Amino acid sequence: MADVLRRRPHLLWLLVPYVLFVGALPFVNRVQPVLLGLPFLFVWLMGATVLTPVFVALARRGDRR
């Protein structure tokens, strides 16, 4: 595993969505504040869902080289 990351460090971008969805969950699991009429947790999950393709594209971009 360490050898793969040494040769392909751009794959670490794929950890960011995991951290956004799972790692940050204990910190964002709250109803207040309400943003756009939605609880904060829903807004966080929508933002993470929108950002996930960006990080996948960054990992893919590095893999092409």
The secondary element (H helix, E strand) that includes residue 13 is none
> What's CA 33's distance to the chain center, in Å?
21
Cα–Cα distance between 30 and 18 in angstroms, integer? 19
- What pTM does this model have? 0.75
Total domain count, the chain: 1
| In contact, 56 and 16? CB cutoff 8 Å | no
* pLDDT tens-digit map of 35-60: 889 898 899 999 999 999 999 998 88
Which residues span the domain enclosing 27?
Answer: 2-64
Summarize pLDDT for 7-41 with one digit per residue, the tens: 677 778 888 999 988 988 888 888 888 888 989 88
